[in-house]
Amino acid sequence: MPQTLRCFETTGRRGPRRGSALVTSMSTMLLVFMVGSALLSTSVQNSSRAQYDVLRARAMALAEAGAEKAIHYLRTTAPNGSTTGWRTSGRVESVPNQGTYTLVVEDGSGENQGKIIITSTGRATDGHRFVRRAVRVAILLDREDVSVWNNVIFGGVGQGGRSINGNVRIRGSVHLLGDGEDYTDVDGDGHWDAGETFTDTNGNGVWNVGEPFSDADGDGRYDAREPFVDVNGNRRSP
């Protein structure tokens, strides 16, 4: 009689775990890839943000420089040669290795009536990235007569204790040259000599022969104070 052969498959304890190492490896690689991608993305974003921060600072500096330049043009001579009434709807100037600024100078209106409005827009560029920043300034130009004759008082030195004494009202400017008081240059050295100190033995206020003194210049003799005109009456040197 024919016999039927039966085959039995015997599985050991490790049989059901075949292929688990591959799954674990792939999961680990996927996790590492995700973490690395996140770190790379954060690094790129931080680098881009830092670059834009630098561009923003440069653009603001350019805008402020443009506003100062516009004020300079208004107070002196404008690019078109005008010394009064200079206006522009968009003058572009460049700063080497920094960027450009665009100036708009116009007459104010409304609450800024009578003023000049300056709008300066700075543009900083780095590759394909650029940033704009703008400042707006409202100024009132006023010319002042600074002639020496346009003063209430014009003098060489102060008049403390003399012609002006007590409570006074001065309606205008006071111009003091500060030239100092006139003196006699006895020794011709080009400056006023205060005189060497001495002991006033007899109390007469002047040095007399025999009284001890400090020989500052070591010439063996007493040097008296050079006479001067005490304009302000303070009894001190010029």
pTM above 0.85, yes or no: no
Check which CATH number belongs to the domain holding 99 and give it. 3.10.450
Answer for the pair 131, 55: CB distance below 8 angstroms, yes or no. Answer: yes
C-alpha torsion angle, residues 216, 221, 227, 233 (rounded to 10): 50
Domain of 135? 53-139
User: Does some domain include residue 73?
Assistant: yes
Residue-wise pLDDT tens digits, 78-117: 998 988 889 999 999 999 988 999 999 999 988 888 899 9
The tally of domains found in the chain comes to: 1
User: Does some domain include residue 204?
Assistant: no
User: Does some domain include residue 116?
Assistant: yes
Helix (H) or strand (E) holding 162: none
| Distant-in-sequence contacts of 48-57, Cβ < 8 A, 24+ apart | 51/126, 51/129, 52/129, 52/131, 54/126, 55/124, 55/125, 55/126, 55/129, 55/130, 55/131, 56/124, 56/131, 56/133
User: Does some domain include residue 111?
Assistant: yes
In 3-state terms the chain splits into helix, strand, coil percentages (rounded to 5) of 25, 20, 55
Closest residue by Cα to residue 87 from 133, 143, 142, 141 = 141
Residue-wise pLDDT tens digits, 212-226: 877 776 777 766 655
User: Does some domain include residue 14?
Assistant: no
Is residue 50 scored above 70 in pLDDT?
yes
Rounded to whole angstroms, the maximal C-alpha distance in the chain is 166
